[in-house]
Amino acid sequence: MNVFEAVKQAVTARQAAEHYGIRVNRHGMCVCPFHNDKNPSMKLDRRFYCFGCGATGDVIDFVSRFQGTGSREAALMLAQDFSIPFESGKNRAKPPIRPRLRQETEEQRFRRMEQHCFQVLSDYCHLLRRWREEYAPRQPGDRWHPRFVEALQKQSYVEYLLDGLLSGDLQERAAIVLAYNIPKKNGKMRPLSIPMHEGQGNADVI
């Protein structure tokens, strides 16, 4: 296993942040080190995401940006600081250049999609939170506003998807990205159609 894989498997973004002196609260949130943040707006788990500036990535991205180093230096630093064994790769044959380039491009593309997906979901999540308050019925007899109903139905599920993107492994994240990477139409949020089936364990969103 090379140093990148070994580090990503062994250390979470949250553990690394705490190790390098960032205070993470019990909700897994911290003050974002990448923008002028007053209240904790970054969520950390296996990966990290900032609701303020949109910074996101894995543990190596976090450390490389935080320490101002390249990814390789960040990975090596983590391996040393967390005593993670890895294959140095000195004795391995160099992979041919063409497939490697192609692979990097695909990874970059996935990252872009993932970031976009996270952005769409977190925008939607913010919107639902707002609707839940703004459109809540004021009197016991009031008719429920459709936006209030939508907030009740979808908020937990959207939060669940966001958590999946933060803490899931690559396969889980890819599944979420492929299923929910819906482009914004004319720059406006298009309502997500989230399939909800009975008996899937999301009783609170139905």
* Residues found near Zn ion in the complex (CB under 5 A): 32, 34-35, 50, 52-53, 55
Q: Considering beta carbons, is residue 49 or 148 the nearer one to Zn ion?
A: 49
Q: Considering beta carbons, is residue 31 or 79 the nearer one to Zn ion?
A: 31
CB of 20 to Zn ion, least distance (A): 16
Q: Considering beta carbons, is residue 48 or 148 the nearer one to Zn ion?
A: 48
CB of 51 to Zn ion, least distance (A): 8
Torsion 52-57-58-63 (CA) sign: negative
CB of 11 to Zn ion, least distance (A): 21
CB of 56 to Zn ion, least distance (A): 9
Q: Considering beta carbons, is residue 32 or 78 the nearer one to Zn ion?
A: 32
Q: Are 15 and 25 in contact (CB under 8 A)?
A: no
Q: Considering beta carbons, is residue 52 or 164 the nearer one to Zn ion?
A: 52
- Measured CA to CA in angstroms, residue 29 lies from 9, 32, 54, 152, 186 at distances of 21, 9, 14, 24, 32
**In the numeric block, which tokens belong to residue 75?**
């990975």
CB of 41 to Zn ion, least distance (A): 6
Report how far residue 146's alpha carbon sits from residue 110's, in angstroms, rounded to the nearest whole number: 34
Residue 63 burial by CB count (10 A; 0-12/13-18/19+): exposed, middle or buried? buried
**In the numeric block, which tokens belong to residue 181?**
């990477």
